[in-house]
Amino acid sequence: MTRLVVAGTDTNVGKTVFSAALAGALGAYYWKPVQAGLEGETDTTSVARLSGLPEEKLLPEAYRLRTPASPHLSARLDGVEIDPARLSPPDRAPLVIETAGGLMTPLTEASLTIDLIARWRLPVVLCARTTLGTINHSLLSLEALRRREIPILGVAFIGEENAETQSVIAQISGVRALGRLPFVAPLTAADLAAAFAAHFRRADFTETNP
């Protein structure tokens, strides 16, 4: 039963576009537990537009917060208290869960996003940039996952090709490099699906025993 968490080394890494591509390739359900920022397109509506998934595969967020900020701050500004106990993965499969921000992004005043992932015990796909600084961010993120004994499926790189950086991260961490999603322009569902199929192996995401 394929159930995966898509997490990132930082915010704006490209998790949502990658999640749309992955969910579309798997025909999976998509769930964003906490949406922080409601102006314009939300992550769920972006995935709806880019994945080609039917509406019933797009599961409602547990929390929809107005301010585009760390969930703990956005919740405080909205006068909402996030209860991590409410954030249990839906009983659906295949399932792609996209987290907010980076692994160490505060979910509440007392808990981090990575604490929630540790409770789920689901395999993680770590999305990482290919630009300067990604080696440090990626290795720190992978170390944090390992310290909490969270299963890691692999790293999905996003951006222009940087073979040296991608190789170094995989070699030092010992974590599988799943592939690289290039920038797609125009960003349409069809072009994104084609880019994912050209750069990733679908089987790597369905054999989830890291």
pLDDT for 207: 74
- Spot the catalytic one: 3, 32, 57, 129: 32
Number of domains in the chain: 1
pLDDT for 40: 87
Q: Which domain holds residue 199?
A: 3-206
Per-residue pLDDT in tens (0 to 9) along the chain, 210 residues:
699 999 999 988 999 999 999 999 999 999 999 999 999 899 999 999 999 999 999 999 999 999 999 999 999 999 999 999 999 999 999 999 999 999 999 999 999 999 999 999 999 999 999 999 999 999 999 999 999 999 999 999 999 999 999 999 999 999 999 999 999 999 999 999 999 999 999 999 997 555
Asked if 24 and 51 count as a contact pair (C-beta separation under 8 A), the reply is yes
- 15 carries an active-site annotation: no
CATH at residue 190: 3.40.50.300
pLDDT for 155: 98
- Give the global pTM: 0.95
pLDDT for 194: 98
Rounded Cα gap, residues 4 and 1, in angstroms: 10
Asked if 69 and 36 count as a contact pair (C-beta separation under 8 A), the reply is yes
Digit-coded pLDDT (tens) for 49-92:
999 999 999 999 999 999 999 999 999 999 999 999 999 999 99
Rounded Cα gap, residues 84 and 111, in angstroms: 8
